[in-house]
Amino acid sequence: MLLPSFNDSEPLMTVNPYFFEGSSGRLFVLERQPDQPTCVVIFVQPFAEEMNKSRHMLTQASLALVNQGAMTVCFDHYATGDSEGAGIDASWTTWRKDLTDLSSSLSARFSLPQYWVCLRTGALIAFSALSGMPAEVDIRLVLWNPVVNGKQYINQFFRLRLAGDMLVSGGKKVTTADIRDELEQGSTEIAGYRLSSSWVEEAESSGLDAACLAGLSGRKVAWIETSPKEAPSLLPVSTQVINTLQSAGCHVNGWPVSGDQFWATQEITLAPDLISATCKWVAQN
């Protein structure tokens, strides 16, 4: 169907919702396509509430990119959002395979440059997917405040459970060891999400290992990081990782912008400078 984008003066776009046959079940996909697309942009979403909090931001970024000629593709990972599967069925292996398959399907349909815009843990999925792709497959990455260490991410995620249980139980202290004990039995629940032990193990093993660095070698990457400061700067740890990527042969640019961490704020917020920086980099690369 044809719908106007967020500004009535802009050209019409085709909006195409459909289900893609993923490796474990159907994935909900939403395409927005201008009349003559110049590239394809796939949004690789984060997990849990970070995904829910970022949906409005991804929509606005998608509309802005469509306005400059990009076809955009938003999809829900298996066992999340409107895709098939229950939360306990989530698998990083499945997510990586589904991203690869969806990307290949789009490449077969459109002989256009392809960009993956990856928010938070979406970067870990992309790194893993690219590690198994031939170098001649031209995928360009835009990383939004990427997570690059799965073990650190899981430790931070566990803290949601620790804080939540203290509030509910009136001060009862739940430890990380307690959560690990539950995982030994097969699964645990954190912030309303049932996680399997295999999902946690896969997450903790994710990161910029040698295979991922090899998969990024020669590729163009934009590392765009939001900061609440008026004069934003990259975090020191981000600079270290960017240096590592550059040493591995990755053509990466670090780019700090002012903006809220919309994936974690209590209210739904936007980071307009992040959208502008993304549009600019995609247009130039």
The model's pLDDT over 108-150, given as tens digits with 9 standing for 90+, comes to 999 999 999 999 999 999 999 998 787 778 899 999 999 999 9
Instruction: Write out pLDDT tens, residues 272-283.
Output: 999 999 999 999
Which class in CATH covers the domain with range 2-148+208-284? Answer: alpha beta
pTM, two decimals, is: 0.91
- Per-domain residue ranges of the chain: 2-148+208-284, 150-206
Interacting residues of 229 by C-beta distance below 8 A, sequence separation 6+: 258
CA separation for the pair 162, 12 (Å, rounded): 48
CA separation for the pair 39, 99 (Å, rounded): 17
Mean pLDDT, residues 37-53 taken together: 95
Mean pLDDT, residues 147-166 taken together: 80
Residue 168: the pLDDT is: 57
CA separation for the pair 20, 48 (Å, rounded): 21
* pLDDT above 60: residue 42: yes
Give the CA dihedral 30, 102, 219, 132, nearest 10 degrees: 150
Residue 172: the pLDDT is: 62
Q: Quick one: pLDDT band at residue 5, thresholds 50, 70, 90? A: very low
